[in-house]
Structure 1
């Protein structure tokens, strides 16, 4: 019989939790990786990410793709969802949002490798794509293309 995951310390999974007011207040949680002896890629896709322009207060939209090769820890997906939602009223530039998310996940998880692609919709007629990674991809690990086409407008 398989061992149950260690979730007793989680504060959000299985609970009704309000959306955090800000990314700083959001609680990101982790669980032990049951396959820590194996290199594999876990992917999270956030196709409707929203934040606010720090100057105008207007909404900004992005399609985020997070790939990582976990070590001892996995991010708990409900806490990740709530963390992503906490950006809805957060004012920051595209580059800041994308890199801050990557760094926070890397600090929490200490993954073998992590990358985030932020595919932002145009602001002022210019789409901004932001990419950040940490660690070195282990040899032999298959990483699919992030699958987000470059912005083409009506083209």
Structure 2
């Protein structure tokens, strides 16, 4: 029987962590509630990547909010995509914006924002924020809930 989930390849299957963000396969399903404007939030409090200069690990708390249109991102594929940054060398800004742009290109949501709350390296936290435009009216979009840096935890 054909469903909106029939094309998913990773969910319910053993799937290796992709070696790089370029190798990661995002999957999507049709939004069965596309006639309603609502916010979806994904939080990745243990995101990791590598400093491109030193190879040392960088850690972030990512908060991704989007108002879907025709498609929803499948969460396991998103988890694998985010995990693929574990061995990827890029600055905080590049990682954060690359994640958001890939999702915007893939999903074409009504609206998307990302907050990259990076833990300090060299004594300075670097937080990165981006959104596709003004928040849509009539949609409840809560505060991201990550306090300014004072020893996050």
TM-based fold match above 0.5: yes
CA distance in 2, matches of 1:32, 1:47: 27
CA distance in 2, matches of 1:5, 1:115: 29
Counterpart for residue 141 of structure 1: 139
What are the equivalent positions in structure 2 for 1:100-139 lying under 5 Å apart? 100-139=98-137
Counterpart for residue 87 of structure 2: 89
5+ long unaligned stretches in structure 2: none
Counterpart for residue 67 of structure 1: 65
Q: How far did 1:6 drift?
A: 1.1
Q: Cα RMSD between the aligned structures?
A: 1.5
Q: How many residues align?
A: 152
Counterpart for residue 14 of structure 1: 12
Counterpart for residue 149 of structure 2: 151
5+ long unaligned stretches in structure 1: none
CA distance in 1, matches of 2:36, 2:88: 37
SS at match of 2:132: strand
4+ aligned runs moved over 6 Å, structure 1: none
Q: How far did 1:125 drift?
A: 0.2
Q: How far did 1:5 drift?
A: 4.5
Note the alpha carbon deviations across 1:52-111, whole angstroms, 9 max, x for none. Answer: 000000000000000000000000000000001100000000000000000000011100
Q: Do the aligned residues in 2 keep the contact of 1:112 with 1:137 (CA within 8 Å)? A: no
